[in-house]
Chain A
Amino acid sequence: MFEIPTLEALNLAPALPAISLAFGVCVLLLLDLLVVPKDRKEITAWLALAGIGVSFVLNLAVFNQTADAFLGMFVADQFSGFLNIVILVGAAISILLSMDYLKRTQIERGEYYSLMLMSVSGMMFMASANDLVMVFIALELLSIPLYVLAAFRAPEAKSEESGMKYFILGAFSSAFFVYGAALIYGATGTTNLPAIFQAVTAIVAAGGSPMFLLLVGAGLLLVGLGFKVAVVPFHMWTPDVYEGAPTPVTAFMSVGAKAGGFAALLRILAVALPSFVLADGQTTAAWQQLAWLVSAATLILGNIVAIAQSDIKRMLAYSSIAHAGYIFMAVAAAGTQGMADAAVQAALLYLLAYTFTNLGAFGVAMAVEKDDGAGTRLDDFIGLAKTRPDLALMMALFMLSLTGIPLTSGFLGKFVVFKATLDAGLVPLAVIGVVTSVISAFYYVRVIVNMYLREGEGDPAAGATRYVNWGVYAAAAGTLIMGVFPVVVTNLTDAVTLAATVIR
């Protein structure tokens, strides 16, 4: 009844970027254990960067093709190719930010980088997952190392608490995901996303009890992924986890986990369920209403609660909730017939923009942070423009980008997302989006006010060592280049389509 597939049939070539990284993790663990001396752990970091570089090159090699691997469970297309770039760039900057931070906070252990790479490979599998089983495995591969990383500062109570909270809610959300997947499997008899699409179309036409399973299943899937990307009402873990985790981990988590989560969300919604309950004459999918509400609630709550924060990490945590809301606008837009590709492109652009900007902001936050984890209040930024004009200027750039001021990547992201939302006919959602953008200016501008306008001693920003500077400069360059020459990236995203994915 069962044949063992040959290696040719598995067709691993398209999956090489992700596989190479997973393999790299094993090599890195061994090298770190056997070769790298105990007091020279930055060697491990460089090896990890090399691994990311290899994966990046392989990704460029497979970038412009659409091919499947693992018998249709894995698909490499422009969507995954672009997301891989986002993820790898984010990971590389995160490693740069981590190197000195680990040393000065005395948590420099070699496993750190292996765990990070493991999570990155999970994100890459997530970007390519074309089957619910694959999504699940990738989700766990992404999450489990992050639980450990969040608690990496153990035995410090805050960090342990952060890891514990993240772990419990992460496991909880995975359970929702699996149960949702089980119900969808029950309704359709398959876990392959494109095949689910065909089955769903048939079920919608016929109606009956599978319809109920499908509805509940899709709902649970969304709940599970909603936890991962931190949208309201599944956001409450975010501020605590972000505050307690070591700052470079927070930075990495805020962009990587988000990219992975949205990758799965977009692919499931756009490939498996685009016509979900699309009865005759209707042009919007049933889940659009839900996505609309989630997006609006996330935007409003994230932006308003962020105003009340006095700690930069918590402020950025709520800001990351808010930005999940903006990306979710694109998700909602994908629910209008014919809008899937444009919405997916918008979401990808937003993710890349957010990756650069947010990593940069966390980088500067790290530079101001003290060795014992203090120095993360917004007031600690007072006078930074005098002591470190370069860092202050870049922080200002990141804050303006997060607000969405032109000539920064954040503006491009908002522009395409708002455009997609309007094109999809969701005018009220677009209005909520712009109004909350204005609200967001309150708390982003406050950082600039502290750095430039308020008089004070000024923090020496002792954490701004060489590699942190490199990371922040790289993020600033990305933010500016995307803002001034958007063509560089829009050329890549323009090619992205999710419509013609392989069915096995």
Chain B
Amino acid sequence: MSVQIEAYVILSAVLFILGAMGVLLRRNAILVFMSVELMLNAANLALVAFARQWNQMDGHIFVFFVMTVAAAEVAIGLALIVAIFRTKQSINLDELHQLEG
């Protein structure tokens, strides 16, 4: 007897919520960024689980796309973080207040 599909979905939901809270609560750019990755991976877990349930390839393929795109985001995101660190010597998001509001 394998694990029920619900278990995977609930786990993924927990991961997703953790990730979302991380984005909203953390102030360190790297940690925020990792939280976003956690959200994406929560989605990946759900996709794989559902693909298994439907016995299809579609979900798996979607996961590959998500991973690829996440990699591209990492490249851009880290580059931005490095650039900001060079100008401000900090990656604390609270210190980004050049723009009013």
Contacts and interface: CB of A to CB of B under 8 A. Distances in A.
**Is A in direct contact with B (CB under 8 Å) within the complex?**
yes
A185 B59 contact: yes
A161 B29 CA distance: 12
Range for the number of chain B residues in contact with chain A? 35 or more
Interface string B1-44: 00000000100100010011001000001001100100110111
Interface of A: 1-2, 132-133, 136-137, 140, 144, 147-148, 151, 154-155, 157-158, 160-165, 167-168, 171-172, 174-176, 178-179, 181-183, 185-186, 189-191, 213, 239-240, 243-244, 314
Most chain B C-beta atoms within 10 Å of own C-beta, residue among A137, A167, A182: A182
Contacts of A213: 9
A181 B62 contact: yes
A320 B1 CA distance: 54
Contacts of B39: 172, 175-176, 178-179
30 contacts: A1-B57, A133-B61, A136-B62, A136-B65, A136-B66, A137-B69, A140-B69, A140-B72, A147-B76, A154-B83, A155-B87, A157-B98, A164-B29, A164-B80, A164-B81, A168-B29, A171-B36, A171-B77, A174-B69, A179-B39, A182-B44, A182-B62, A183-B46, A185-B50, A186-B53, A189-B54, A189-B56, A190-B58, A191-B62, A243-B100
B40 A178 contact: yes
Contacts of A190: 58
Given A1-B57, A168-B33, A175-B43, 20 more contacts: A136-B65, A140-B72, A144-B73, A148-B76, A155-B86, A157-B98, A161-B84, A161-B96, A161-B99, A164-B29, A167-B77, A168-B93, A171-B77, A175-B19, A175-B39, A178-B66, A179-B12, A189-B54, A189-B56, A191-B62
B65 A133 contact: yes
Main secondary structure of the interface of B (DSSP, over half): helix
A136 B84 contact: no
B62 A168 contact: no
Given A140-B73, A164-B96, A191-B62, A155 B83 contact: yes
Interface in B85-101: 86-88, 93, 96, 98-101
